[in-house]
Structure 1
Amino acid sequence: MPSVYEAAGSTEGLVRLAAAWHARVLADEVVSHAFSHGYHPEHTGRLAAYWAEALGGPPAYSSEYGTEAEVVGMHSGNGPHEEMDRRAIACFDAALTDAGFTTGPLRQVLHDYFAWATTTTMTGHLPAGASIPRWSWDGLETRHD
């Protein structure tokens, strides 16, 4: 059975999904606030590399951009934001459709991963060097170091 990464079209499919999600969140009046202070000009590619690594692809994010602790550090520390999380997940679900992930177990696994990452892993603080958690067809495979 292919990995979630492979089933999603590898890097090309995840870049398509990341671009669709980024467009959706920038258009959302609540979630766009997270980007109101600017974002990296290569955000879409970096996000796709992060998702690729998390979903069973190559460790390009870790080798080129940083650790899970650094990613979580960028996304946490602002207190609870349930409404923003809920809307980010809704944007992701719409982006799945935009990117052509319209049916089947792949769509569900991608949704489950994003919802878990948004409401769980991106909300805390991690030790330096923590690795990106891996997600498979059965859910979480590995936790942070």
Structure 2
Amino acid sequence: MTAHTVEYIRYRVPEQQSAEFLAAHRRAATRLAAAPQCVDYELARAEDDFEHYILRVTWTSTRDHVEGFRSSDLFPAYAAEVRPYAEQVEESRHYKPTAVRGTGAATPTLYAWAGGAEAFSRLTDVFYAKVVEDDLLAPLFADLPAEHARHVGLWLAEVFGGPAAYSETQGGHSHMVARHAGLGITEPQRRRWVELVQDAADEAGLPTDAEFRSAFLAYVEWGTRLAVRFSAPGATPPAPQPVPKWTWGAAPPYPG
């Protein structure tokens, strides 16, 4: 997946013009919101000097912005709103994100929110006790190694922001995918897997708040769909990839 382009426009607007400046950008924002090339946008104002503003617009690409949005029917109305402030622009550039990114301690990881290693250990213990008794899934796990549940617990813990124990002892994403090669997992089996892991999450006492459960289920859906794909006969395994890191409301940039 290609990284998006982030455009930053820095303004210095006299305070007496601030009300009309903000009103103009509120009107202009309706065109950004309607543009298929625009991912998101935000206008921020300096706390210590009210004359300074930064408009951040995330575009699908620089080319989509320059050749797409600027040649679209939306652009003339957008430009008409922001053009009066062109002389107040101190910088206007496109930036590409780097690999230096993350969240701070103010945002707990899904791993910490769930309850840490013990929570994921309980989850996999409950889940695999269900799996071996399920008519639809039991055939997939007929020769389940004794350590399988523990390994999956390590995997899930790392995916959701915990220690890199799975990577250190087993391998990365490609290793997990390889465990499904040739299984021929069916869509009914995938859906049953999703259903049982949600039941197991309830029984294991994982948090039930909507934010956690939506992120948890998003990973389960993403991961099980990849498992179906790579378990199909003749499927080409992916290139080496690290264990995905799942966060609140975000998916890693792996091709589906």
**TM-score by structure 2 length?**
0.52
Structure 1 segments unaligned to the other structure (5+ residues): none
Secondary structure in structure 1 of the residue aligned to 2:149: helix
Secondary structure in structure 2 of the residue aligned to 1:139: coil
- The answer on whether the counterparts of 1:134 and 1:142 sit within 8 Å (CA) in structure 2 is no
| Cα RMSD after superposing both structures | 1.8
Larger relative contact order (CA 8 Å, sep ≥ 6)? 1
Aligned equivalents of 1:11 and 1:143: distance in 2? 25
Q: Which has the larger radius of gyration?
A: 2
Given the superposition, is the C-alpha separation of residues 49 and 103 from structure 1 closer, same or farther in structure 2, using an over 3 Å criterion? same
What is aligned with 2:131? 25
Secondary structure in structure 1 of the residue aligned to 2:179: helix
Q: State which of 108, 112, 118 in structure 1 corresponds to 2:224.
A: 118
Structure 2 letter corresponding to 1:49 = L
Given the superposition, is the C-alpha separation of residues 117 and 48 from structure 1 closer, same or farther in structure 2, using an over 3 Å criterion? same
Structure 1 letter corresponding to 2:238 = L
Aligned equivalents of 2:227 and 2:109: distance in 1? 21
Secondary structure in structure 1 of the residue aligned to 2:150: helix
Q: State which of 32, 42, 63 in structure 1 corresponds to 2:147.
A: 42
1:9 aligns with 2:115: yes
Aligned residues: 142
Larger deviation, residues 50-59 vs 66-75: 66-75
Structure 2 segments unaligned to the other structure (5+ residues): 1-106, 231-236
Q: State which of 194, 198, 215 in structure 2 corresponds to 1:93.
A: 198
- The answer on whether the counterparts of 2:121 and 2:153 sit within 8 Å (CA) in structure 1 is yes
1:132 aligns with 2:243: yes
Secondary structure in structure 1 of the residue aligned to 2:129: helix
Q: State which of 163, 166, 186 in structure 2 corresponds to 1:58.
A: 163
Shift of 1:142: 4.5
- The answer on whether the counterparts of 2:114 and 2:207 sit within 8 Å (CA) in structure 1 is no
**TM-score by structure 1 length?**
0.88
What percent of counterpart residues are identical?
Answer: 28
| Structure number having the greater strand percentage | 2
